[in-house]
Amino acid sequence: MRRFKMVLTITILFSLFYLFQINKMTFALCQSREIPEEKQPKIYRTVNILITILILSLYVEVFFHA
């Protein structure tokens, strides 16, 4: 149980850091491509959903297949 909590904590911290970095890169992309303000929320939403799916698949892989 202790190992589970430690791995879960590390996974959550990694996920938050990774999501923050991806959002920074998305912001830079929107700025460099001069994407209109009204389209940016849709881009952020799409990127965040896809990254969340990726993170959840990592979680499933680590905990149920390792």
> 19-30, pLDDT tens digit by residue?
999 999 999 999
Look up residue 35 and give its amino acid.
Answer: I
Contact yes or no for 22/47 (Cβ under 8 A): yes
15 contact partners, CB below 8 Å, separation of at least 6 = 55
Q: What is the pTM for the complete model shown?
A: 0.82
Instruction: Please tell me the distance from the alpha carbon of residue 45 to that of residue 49, in angstroms, as a whole number.
Output: 6
Contact yes or no for 13/60 (Cβ under 8 A): no
pLDDT of residue 7: 82
Q: Which has the higher per-residue pLDDT, 61 or 36?
A: 36
Read off the pLDDT band of 11 (50, 70, 90): confident
Both tokens of 64, joined, read: 């149920």
Q: From the centroid of its chain, how far is CA 26? A: 11
